[in-house]
Amino acid sequence: MNNKRPDSMERITTSELAKKFIDEQIAEIKAQVGDKKVLLALSGGVDSSVVAALLIKAIGKQLVCVHVNHGLMRKGESEQVIEVFKNQLDANLIYIDATDRFLDLLAGVSEPEKKRKIIGGEFIKVFDEEAGKLEGISFLAQGTIYPDILESDGVKAHHNVGGLPEDMQFELVEPVRLLFKDEVRVVGKELGLPASMVDRQPFPGPGLGVRCLGAITRDRLNALREADAILREEFDKNGLNKTVWQYFIAVPDMKSVGVKDDKRYEGWPAIIRAINTTDAMSATIEEIPYELLHHITKRITSEVEGINRVLYDLTPKPVGTIEWE
């Protein structure tokens, strides 16, 4: 498998170039796979979604997609995976709601690195269990893209599947391995995937697990998910989704006093993070109109159970990392 992008390879920026790439890949996939089955962990992220759409076009039901909902997805994300892949593209999709498994394991765990390890390790376990039930899988598809190869010399272990057991010997299918992120998005649009999926922001593997700060509780996770959905909806409505690279809410494990229905009550703060970056090595803070911040604050504090303050994180990177944990 060639893992070096040829110098002659044109940057895919147009529909025509994307179409040409898709046709070439379909031929390559068919030649590589033949009549065998391919397994893919479909997270709903840009890379795995584009790989799934490409493989469905090439080999249809020979592709088996496994979507594991770890309970730490953003609002509506797992539903969108089912809608797009199962209902629209008629994919061979296995959906596993493993919310309870993950949240039970995470109960009382506040150390960020430990949380990450639990989420990553359990994801592999759930995926392996499903893979073990399937017959005749010969290939494993991955959403590896060119920056992953440049960074890690090969497989994107942390992001997709990673620690597959020794006895599962799959040959890899990595159709977008020579593409940069912007090219993957162009190809995804050409394949007919919705903009909300193709233009999806970078989202950490542990999902909301690293934005529900400290030990995750279901009520606070739910408040975070709802507040985040409001922020995204307002950014979309006001066109900021086009100019801001990444924006999200973090909810810390601390309470402050507020007033509701003329009574004092305790609630959590929601912290807005909105940054711009070209390479994620450094990041600047996005200027958001005050009027919009007031509007978002009003919506979050009145619509989301348990949140009584909204804060805005003004810290660039460096000093602050993009994520809080």
Q: Which of 166, 198, 230 is the last residue of a domain?
A: 198
Tell me what pLDDT residue 162 has: 45
Q: Does 223 share its domain with 291?
A: yes
Q: Does 194 share its domain with 235?
A: no
Q: Which of 198, 223, 254 is the last residue of a domain?
A: 198
Q: Does 39 share its domain with 157?
A: yes
Residues of the chain with pLDDT under 50: 154-163
Residues β-bridged to residue 284:
276
Alpha-carbon span 120 to 84, nearest angstrom? 25
Tell me what pLDDT residue 154 has: 43
Q: Does 220 share its domain with 277?
A: yes
Residue that has been written with the tokens 């900021």 in this structure: 240
Alpha-carbon span 274 to 244, nearest angstrom? 7
Alpha-carbon span 145 to 127, nearest angstrom? 21
Q: Does 194 share its domain with 81?
A: yes
Tell me what pLDDT residue 164 has: 52
Tell me what pLDDT residue 205 has: 86
Tell me what pLDDT residue 161 has: 45
Residues 133-192: tens digit of each pLDDT: 998 899 999 999 998 888 765 444 444 444 455 555 789 999 999 999 999 999 999 999
Q: Does 55 share its domain with 122?
A: yes
Tell me what pLDDT residue 93 has: 97
Q: Does 151 share its domain with 275?
A: no
Q: Does 181 share its domain with 216?
A: no
Alpha-carbon span 160 to 205, nearest angstrom? 8
Q: Does 189 share its domain with 215?
A: no
Tell me what pLDDT residue 232 has: 96
Q: Is residue 217 part of a domain?
A: yes
- For residue 279, what is the domain's CATH number? 3.30.300.10
Tell me what pLDDT residue 160 has: 41
Tell me what pLDDT residue 180 has: 92
Q: Is residue 205 part of a domain?
A: no
Q: Does 289 share its domain with 234?
A: yes
- For residue 172, what is the domain's CATH number? 3.40.50.620
Q: Which domain holds residue 277?
A: 211-312
Q: Does 178 share its domain with 226?
A: no
Q: Is residue 10 part of a domain?
A: no
Q: Does 39 share its domain with 177?
A: yes
Number of folded domains in the chain?
2
Q: How many CA atoms lie within 13 A of 139 on its CB side?
A: 22
Question: What's the whole-model pTM score?
Answer: 0.88
Q: Is residue 94 part of a domain?
A: yes
Tell me what pLDDT residue 27 has: 97
Tell me what pLDDT residue 4 has: 86
* Alpha helices per DSSP H over 134-211: 146-152, 181-190, 195-198
